[in-house]
Amino acid sequence: MSDKGKTTGSDKPKGKGRADTGLKVKVKTARGRTASSVRWLQRQLNDPYVVKARKEGWRSRAAFKLIEIDEKYHLLKPGNRVVDLGAAPGGWCQVAAKKTGSTPGNPLIVGIDYLEMDGVPGVALLQKDFLDEDAPAALMAALGGHAPDVVLSDMAAPTTGHHKTDHLRTTHLCEVAAAFAVDVLRPGGAFVAKVFRGGTENELLAMLKQNFAQVFHFKPPSSRQESVEMYVVARGFKGRQEAAEDGRP
């Protein structure tokens, strides 16, 4: 569900980082290694964000995308409760935990992914498909019943190579994530989700504008230039009508 990079925080750089040398690493084709895998490996080895992620202890280069989103829109604050959808391999959970001050003794972050992932200090992790019917309830239970301040989604459907199909499948994940956010967020809360170039569909965009004070599209500098991904950022959740009537937060 998540397409974040596969670099882990346990990968320690050996010697001087290649991004510091300015040298390009070339990967030779070997038996059993496809041309596409060679291109992926070569891109990883020469990606300055991959090198920087290793040096700084982030699990993937995707951590910088959330850092850049937060630097621009100021979503993550100390004490915030956060839900991370499509959390593997954990880079966004790491950033959220650091920004909010989440600790093992007082976890404020809940991450969910059907992929297995190593634990992140200060984060409750659920190995489960977010599309499962009982996933929303499991997430809220992991938050102790508290409404989150921020819902994050870096979910993306596995690509098929057909742009329209990939766009529609990832838009569906964004729609499900947005519906969850509207169901659970605190008033004033925020929602961030991956979409593909072309932005959100009109119906989804209208729903977000109806429920949030501000809606933006943003492509973080760390997002690869050739990538069709971008992010929809919604701030200032207006709250649910039934919650206001019941006096609930």
State the Cα–Cα distance between residues 198 and 201, nearest whole angstrom. 8
Of the candidates 106, 57, 72, 102, which has an alpha carbon nearest to the alpha carbon of residue 84?
102
Kindly state the tokens that stand for 91: 């880079």
State the Cα–Cα distance between residues 214 and 235, nearest whole angstrom. 5
| DSSP assignments along 193-240, one per residue | EEEETT-S-HHHHHHHHHHEEEEEEE--TTS-TT--EEEEEEEEE---
In the set 4, 65, 99, 194, the catalytic residue is: 194
194 in catalytic set: yes
- Other beta carbons within 10 Å of 65: 26
Partnered with residue 232 across adjacent β-strands are 193, 217
DSSP E strands in 11-85: the ranges are 82-85
Catalytic residues: 194
